[in-house]
């Protein structure tokens, strides 16, 4: 029954946007299990600005009433809420990656390769879920502090499972119920059970594709730590930012802006990344774009990310916007 509903989810409010919080954008990629507090806070502020349009943090009371590390007391003034009318944020889903959380545990144990009967893999499965859950809690708290009603939802707990790394079952009812109740579901890449190999890593990008296919958002934004997709490692001096990629009916895609002549396009996959790198991202994005849903890959916590998150780019893309737009060419 729930399963069926997940195939035909009827949202009370249409879904405006699915946001991917790249692990690299909110964690210190090379510092084990370290959150980039400044970036995460700025990302949360931008999300609040676009979800509750024209809001300023001063007028929206926080929803994280937990003790902050180092603080002894919880700062909560219940009266703040008394004469507050309910600000319904527009309907968003946030999905975050792992960054410096989870990858270490997953790669050390080979969780992505499966084999729960092996003690190392089983322990790695547990260790990976602990690490990504820790990050999820911090992301949820950061959004809540901005007054966004964020709700952490783990794919594993939802009962999501895979078959050869493709989603085999993904009950969407928890996500849709949360959305319809005015909450912001915050999902994450997770260790899940796999029908064939026992277990694997379900990446945030695959989760987003699945959510986009079934919940049909207006647009999807990938927040990352570079300005967008380049034709070669962005570290290389002559790397060119691909500003617009067109996806055709057959799923193939090509760069529209800038004109690349016959420049060969290289892709990089970070060695520690157990869920694939930029190439996975583009192919996942292309599948979403094929549904007629614009995808923007943009650097987190910049003026460019606010414009992408606000949806203003749907019509046309201004020349001074830095990022990669992937859209259906028909």
183 binds a second copy (CB under 8 A): yes
Cβ atoms of residues 48 and 42 within 8 Å: no
Angle (CA) 96-254-272 rounded to 5° is 35
Closer residue to a second copy in complex, CB, 75/254: 75
Q: Which is nearer to a second copy, 156 or 230 (CB)?
A: 156
Does position 234 interact with a second copy (CB under 8 A)? The reply is: no
Q: What CA–CA distance (Å, rounded) separates 286 from 284?
A: 5
Q: What is the CA radius of gyration of the chain?
A: 20
Q: Which CB sits closer to a second copy, 2 or 37?
A: 2
Q: Two tokens at 150?
A: 């964020």
Q: How many other CB atoms are found less than 10 A from the CB of residue 78? A: 8
User: What angle do helix axes 204-215 and 278-289 make, rounded to 10 degrees?
Assistant: 0
Does the annotation list 189 as a binding residue?
Answer: no
150 near a second copy, rule: CB under 8 A: yes
**Cis peptide bond N-terminal to 174, omega within 30:** no
Residue with smaller CB distance to a second copy, 110 or 234: 110
Sequence-distant (≥ 6) Cβ neighbours of residue 284 within 8 angstroms: 205, 206, 208, 209
Q: How many residues line the site for a second copy (CB under 8 A)?
A: 70
| 20, 112, 141, 327: residue in contact with a second copy (rule CB under 8 A) | 141
Q: Please report whether residue 159 would count as binding a second copy according to CB under 8 A.
A: yes
Stretch that binds a second copy, among 77-85, 210-218, 228-236, 254-262 (CB under 8 A): 77-85
152 contacts a second copy (rule: CB under 8 A)? yes
- What's the CA dihedral at 243, 213, 299, 305 to 10 degrees? 90
Encode 166-202 in three state secondary structure.
Answer: EEEECCCHHHHHHHHCCCEEEEECEEEEECCCEEEEE
CB nearer to a second copy: give 62 or 276.
62
String of contacts with a second copy for each residue 99-138, x by CB under 8 A? -----xx--xx------xxxxx-xxxxxx-xxx-xx--x-
Q: Can you give the binding site for a second copy, defined by CB under 8 A?
A: 1-4, 32-33, 61-67, 73-74, 76, 78, 81-82, 84-87, 104-105, 108-109, 116-120, 122-127, 129-131, 133-134, 137, 140-141, 144, 147, 149-154, 156-159, 161, 169, 171, 173-174, 177, 181-183, 193, 198-199
Return binding residues for substrate.
98, 103, 204
């Amino acid at each position: 029954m729930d399963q069926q509903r997940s195939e035909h989810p009827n949202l009370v409010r249409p879904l405006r946007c699915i946001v991917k919080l790249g692990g690299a954008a909110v964690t210190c990629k090379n510092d084990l299990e370290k959150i980039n507090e400044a970036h995460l806070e700025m990302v949360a502020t931008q999300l609040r600005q676009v979800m509750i349009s024209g809001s300023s943090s001063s007028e929206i009371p926080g929803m994280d009433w937990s003790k902050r590390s180092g603080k002894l007391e919880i700062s909560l003034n219940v009266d703040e809420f008394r004469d507050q009318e309910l600000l319904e944020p527009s309907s968003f889903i946030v999905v975050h990656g792992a960054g410096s959380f989870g990858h270490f545990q997953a790669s050390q144990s080979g969780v992505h390769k499966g084999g729960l009967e092996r003690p190392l893999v089983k322990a790695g499965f547990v260790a990976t879920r602990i690490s990504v859950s820790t990050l999820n809690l911090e992301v949820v708290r950061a959004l809540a502090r901005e007054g966004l009603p964020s709700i952490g939802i783990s794919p594993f707990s939802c009962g999501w499972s895979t078959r050869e790394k493709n989603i085999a079952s993904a009950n969407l009812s928890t996500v849709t119920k949360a959305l319809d109740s005015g909450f912001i579901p915050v999902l994450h890449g997770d260790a899940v059970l796999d029908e064939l190999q026992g277990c694997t890593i379900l990446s945030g990008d695959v989760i987003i594709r699945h959510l986009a296919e079934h919940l049909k958002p207006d647009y999807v934004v990938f927040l990352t730590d570079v300005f967008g997709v380049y034709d070669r490692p962005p570290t290389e001096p002559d790397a060119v930012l691909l500003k617009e990629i067109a996806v055709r009916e057959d799923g193939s895609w090509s760069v529209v802006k800038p004109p690349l002549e016959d420049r060969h396009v290289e892709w990089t996959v970070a060695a520690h990344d157990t869920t694939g790198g930029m190439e996975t991202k583009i192919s996942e994005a292309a599948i979403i774009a094929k549904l007629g849903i614009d995808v923007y890959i943009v650097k987190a916590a910049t003026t460019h990310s606010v414009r992408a998150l606000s949806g203003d780019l749907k019509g046309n893309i201004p020349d001074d916007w830095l990022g990669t737009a992937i859209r259906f060419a028909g």
